[in-house]
Amino acid sequence: MQLLLFKVFSDLAETSSFSQAARLNSVTQSAVSQQIKALEQRFGSRLIERGKRNFSLTPEGLVFLGAAREILSVVGDLDARLGEMRETVAGDLRLAAVLSVGLHELPAYTRQFMRQHPQVKIHTDYLRSSEVYTAVLSGKADAGFVAYPVARRGLACEVIWRDRLVVVCSPSHRLARRARVALSDLSGEKFIAFATDQPTRKALDRALRAARVSIRPQMEFDNVETVKRTVEIGDAVSILPQATLANEQRAGSLVPIGITGADIWRPVGVITRRNRTGSPALLEFLELLRAGQMPGKLAKR
């Protein structure tokens, strides 16, 4: 049964006027009469007295009016409660991120967000790049964070910051005392690379080919932490996001070196489901990311 029928009957009882009930519900007076007849047929009872000068309800009509008011009250309360939920920043926020972003980029933002919105509980899963897209598309994650983001069917992407890429080596390496190096200085160097399916690896391969630089890949790994540990204990170099090196730079275990003549940046983006509004928590978190600018990053252009 349509909710409008209860509303029309309640307004008719309160105003004692078919014309006013019609005006309050943006229908014709004839439509009000037809709806009342439909209600009487549905319940097999007369609800209003007809043929009298003064409008009145039958005993059955009084019972129906009480029920109609209860139904309308429940629906009104539900609207209010749902409205509060739409405005309240609370609940779970599920994120998926590649390891380098999840460990080094997101924590500053998630900590700030939880300070501002203590009713939100954030869960972060660390996945490979392809798995992040799958998690968001399937609904297992509200948002995903990857390097070199690409819009895919059913997904939207937005670059939220860019990480500077730098050469990195151990303090004992011959390049460690250099403030900056050119990509050509890496020719012939032992190189610790990302796995071939990683977006950052593909971008670095393109940059090295464009500079006509030939390196000697020694090992390949699918995450930045393993690359760093391998560079620390060997005589090889790598190219990594500067934002991931803060701890090692403070400890003196790795040396970041700027790249001359090749201003290389790694775009980091957020992946969300296309045409989905998202929870208040997700929307607020995205606004925080868009407004933030961390050291070593450039805001989105």
Domain residue limits, the chain: 3-87, 91-159+273-299, 162-265
pLDDT at 224 (0 to 100):
92
More confident call, 181 vs 35: 181
* Confidence label for 293 from pLDDT (cuts 50, 70 and 90): very low
Mean pLDDT of the region 258-280:
85
Structure tokens at 132: 């992040």
CATH 3.40.50.300 fits 91-159+273-299, yes or no: no
The pairing of beta strand 120-126 with beta strand 91-97: parallel
Do residues 193 and 238 lie in contact, with contact meaning Cβ atoms separated by under 8 Å? yes
Each residue of 215-231: pLDDT tens digit? 888 899 988 999 999 99
The whole-chain average pLDDT of the chain stands at 86
Q: Which residues contact 259 (CB under 8 A, 6 or more apart)?
A: 165, 166, 167, 180, 181, 182, 183, 239
Fold agreement between 91-159+273-299 and 162-265: yes
pLDDT at 81 (0 to 100):
63
pLDDT at 156 (0 to 100):
92
Specify the CATH number of the domain 162-265.
3.40.190.290
pLDDT at 230 (0 to 100):
95
Q: What angle do CA 244, 259, 206 make, to 5 degrees?
A: 85
β-bridge mates for residue 220, sequence order: 193
CATH 1.10.10.10 fits 3-87, yes or no: yes
